[in-house]
Structure 1
């Protein structure tokens, strides 16, 4: 289960990559704009603001996220992106921090390009931080004897979950697109108690949470805190810098 409130705790920082991604899409008057993995809908709302004449289509696989998005007035649909097919009038497809959850997403990208019309835009962003200290700390703790019995390696993703910017550029160029791909490392300034733990609780720790009961979950979090503190020490002013690498791709179908 996704928790929209936990995810939105860092809405401003999580939204920055979405804004940067949209800035490179050159569509002027799209007919239909699709948000695959719309989450709680806070970023989907910006699509309607940029393209007010477009029909906005939104999908998410989480019932909780779809409910939250609908509460914002977004007509979100519950569905798996692997089952999505573009309508004939689809001119822009956006996916923000979603495709890394889908192992076969490179094949999906090629399929979508083949189904979209010439001139259409396909833009997505995925995290590239699977080897970051935060993720390594989670894996190190999970490999300890007490936890390895209940937390199998299969629930953790590594750097192979996504490709490099160059890898995606080659994939989509070969599929018949003009591609703009890049990588950015954001240094998020976090505040509050255990801010890195709270950040990854809304995303990377979801598979861990789903594998543990309430008591185990609280104990895992408590044991993880000193590992995260060692990698992300708080500054004298109480803030914590959290580097986060992301991979961006904007492709236009030729």
Structure 2
């Protein structure tokens, strides 16, 4: 599945806010090694290099398109680099002090088991911060899955979209972190985003959730699917004089490994 970095950052202010809400809970002043799992176009990874200028900050992503965009960030920040990698195959290097993963783990089946392994591998005192979308059961995603399973579209799209099993609840991630012996905090936030323009919710999901569908459909089929889906979205998210309100639920968890005694 190819990613479009420009489409992904189109709603930058809204997409970036959870990252800063997450990293604001990571309380360390001088980490030496920082990893951003699923770094995307690298603009947010660059803020980690700004926050911790003495650190080596590495952004990892499986999308060559995203990393091509991220490469421009590495030229302006000392200690910042990017590499092609699959999160599912990654293991924390022994010297890692901070791991951040923002809106990436929902694409990785079985990431809860991976999380337990990552926490076990981190050194004493290291931090792990994660954020995933909690809106798989929101109308935007339910309507997409219902349309994909309809008689017209199921032959092409069967098994393409995942549902609520893609992520856990805050309590699930908290348990994993506590079981690993960490000090942990988990929470959720629903941002009431006001989107503008024609079919703004469709524009929003084009950057992420709709991409697996468009990757499978032909150039002729994609617009037809979008047309049906857009009509359903307009009914579920009616416009107001102020714009279209789009609730955006996110799930957060932060852990610190205990210091050696």
TM-score by length of 1: 0.97
**Could you tell me how far apart the structure 2 residues matched to 1:225 and 1:169 are?**
36
Query: Does residue 132 of structure 1 match 2:133?
Result: no
**Could you tell me how far apart the structure 2 residues matched to 1:189 and 1:16 are?**
14
The aligned counterpart of 1:223 is 228
Query: Does residue 197 of structure 1 match 2:202?
Result: yes
- Offset, 1:144: 2.0
- Offset, 1:143: 2.1
Secondary structure at the aligned position of 2:43 is classed as coil
Find 1:169's aligned residue among 174, 197, 200: 174
- Cα deviation, 1:214-233, whole Å, max 9, x if unaligned, reads 11001111111110000111
- Offset, 1:150: 0.9
Find 2:152's aligned residue among 134, 146, 169: 146
- Offset, 1:206: 1.0
Q: Identify the range of structure 1 (83-92 vs 177-186) with the bigger mean alpha-carbon deviation.
A: 83-92
- Cα deviation, 1:154-213, whole Å, max 9, x if unaligned, reads 211111111111111111111111111001111111112211001101111111011100
Query: Does residue 78 of structure 1 match 2:84?
Result: yes
Q: Identify the range of structure 1 (29-38 vs 70-79) with the bigger mean alpha-carbon deviation.
A: 70-79
**Could you tell me how far apart the structure 2 residues matched to 1:252 and 1:108 are?**
17
- Offset, 1:23: 0.6
**Could you tell me how far apart the structure 1 residues matched to 2:126 and 2:116 are?**
14
The aligned counterpart of 1:179 is 184
Within-5 A mapping of 1:85-96: 85-96=91-102
- Offset, 1:72: 2.4
Tell me how large the CA RMSD over aligned residues is: 1.0
**Could you tell me how far apart the structure 2 residues matched to 1:88 and 1:143 are?**
45
- Cα deviation, 1:22-52, whole Å, max 9, x if unaligned, reads 1100111101110000000110111011111
The aligned counterpart of 1:241 is 245
**Could you tell me how far apart the structure 1 residues matched to 2:225 and 2:206 are?**
11
The aligned counterpart of 1:114 is 120
Gaps in structure 2 of 5+ consecutive residues:
75-79
Give the aligned length: 252
The aligned counterpart of 2:219 is 214
**Could you tell me how far apart the structure 1 residues matched to 2:67 and 2:82 are?**
6
**Could you tell me how far apart the structure 2 residues matched to 1:108 and 1:23 are?**
24
TM-score by length of 2: 0.94
The aligned counterpart of 1:24 is 25
